Chains A and B, each alone.
Chain A
């Protein structure tokens, strides 16, 4: 049994303009100790997927259906009390913007200790000792002095380290990282990623890494889910996705990766804007932007199906496999040529 199994997850928000289908039938699974990368543009539903799993969507406007089985227990139907028990102790989450994710009026040490004392019956002293240990583990210099500092005394990278320390303080089985490096500068990004990888090994946690950066995914993920407009466009092992991408959207993402080794005038970009989730386009949601669009794409929404020679690799596109093989090979050849 996988650690977390998400089946046909849907999250819709009621707004004044109508129902926004932020997540529309997403399925994936995470095994113990594994890393799953969820990739997609802003607004493709990757964050909402994870917030739904955590039960952190606004209760008033969000409606969810489907299943999110955590060790066999459905989180969508779990009581708020049970969810609170799981949150922070079994599943922990770190967020995109470390500058605003820590409470400005409480000391770092207290915020870390709070995370521990919510779940374990320990004294303040013990919690503080554990907080110190974690700050050390995430590489904060002179941690014993920094426990009594406030968030504004930390830089962005340091704050994200504090967030990671806070998430790991109860030894969670799953760490959800929602674009943990987006708000940081490039050198800090690399440090934070290495840190997450290192700690993942140490703590044995599984990780869901939400990102719009394929480079990050290539570096640390075992499995990849590519999301587009609230749906899964393609998913599979990291090798499968990068060696033989099957969906034109994935090609677009790969084509728009900046490369140090190639001398290009402009980055290739996917034309157009992601569609409105209030009224998504009929048929395949990618068809208005797809360079390979066919008449059928405008009418029939493709189902997520296994690639014929590779059952672990799923994709949702009407194109015939021959064309896909050819285009994927062309893309890869192009990338190879640039590299050489």
Chain B
């Protein structure tokens, strides 16, 4: 219910913003020297000559998985067609989503691989050299903009060293020529992953460090030690088990959020993902595509939040029963 309200609110806001923008997609469709006749026809064709609520109503009707026109029947929900190239928005989003998903999930693995050990170790040895170094890393990671980091990486590792490709994306499943398959896929995504992971790794190092330090001071950790449990068992079964509970929530929500478009990283590395598609669509006043990506992003957030809630019930017994 809450998810539905959120969904409607987000899509309406997108429509209103587009309505408020002083640009006419119909004029754009007719090219530079547009005749009034052409604009009128284009506007009618695109549906932009109708009032806002009619446009929104049509959009919403297309999205429903059932239709009553010509008798009630089930249909595939559609996001409409692009203003600029008449491609089905479902297709456009379907093309871009795997790219973003590759970037985000790979990036999530990267940042967790960095953040878990660094966070835990600096919690165990506060004020040690490692802790101080990780502190510096965190500051850089949080302050530095991903575009800047991306450009630096592309310049040094891609251009100067030639170790990694600077741009481009290779499909995981469907090879096109030499570019394709898991190896090429990972090879092309390595730099984007690193770039994307740095900000999150920095945030997560702080989170994990704080949580582990807090858990280390819990009474039940003292109880475990008083039982005579060896340190590794205390860490695994009592400290980490509790300290990482909130991290699971954060991870789920961040992945859901990031799936909506890792705009900066995708732009820098020229990845044809959702973020880049969204930018192109906005530049061309292509409402349906923008709206499609907004819908998809909203769905991702909703789905991942739901998954986090369900997962939490499994891993935290306190939630299960209350």
Contact = CB atoms under 8 A, between A and B. Distances in A.
A89 B229 CA distance: 11
A118 B226 CA distance: 11
Contacts, number: 79
A299 B299 CA distance: 75
Interface string B211-251: 00000001110111111111001000110011001000000
A46 to B, nearest CB: 16
A22 interface: no
Given A100-B218, A102-B220, A103-B242, A93 B318 contact: no
A324 interface: no
A56 B222 contact: yes
A297 to B, nearest CB: 38
Given A104-B317, A106-B237, A152-B317, A114 B229 contact: yes
B318 A104 contact: yes
A89 B228 contact: yes
Contact of B223 (A85, A95, A118): A95
A105 to B, nearest CB: 5
A100 B228 CA distance: 18
A163 B222 CA distance: 12
A100 B219 contact: yes
B219 A95 contact: yes
Given A103-B242, A104-B242, A104-B317, A166 B219 contact: no
A154 to B, nearest CB: 12
A167 B315 CA distance: 27
B316 interface: yes
Contacts of A104: 220, 242, 316-318
Nearest to B321: A153
A133 B201 CA distance: 48
A150 B242 contact: no
A170 B241 CA distance: 26
Interface in A47-87: 54, 56, 84-87
Given A95-B222, A153-B321, 20 more contacts: A56-B225, A84-B228, A88-B229, A89-B228, A95-B226, A102-B220, A103-B238, A105-B316, A114-B224, A114-B227, A115-B227, A118-B227, A118-B228, A118-B229, A119-B228, A150-B317, A150-B318, A150-B321, A152-B317, A166-B227
Top-9 shortest CB links A-B: A88-B228, A88-B227, A100-B219, A87-B228, A103-B220, A150-B317, A101-B219, A115-B227, A93-B226
25 contacts: A85-B228, A86-B228, A88-B226, A88-B227, A88-B228, A92-B227, A95-B222, A100-B218, A101-B220, A102-B223, A103-B237, A104-B317, A104-B318, A105-B245, A105-B315, A105-B316, A106-B237, A114-B224, A114-B227, A118-B227, A118-B229, A150-B318, A153-B321, A166-B223, A166-B227
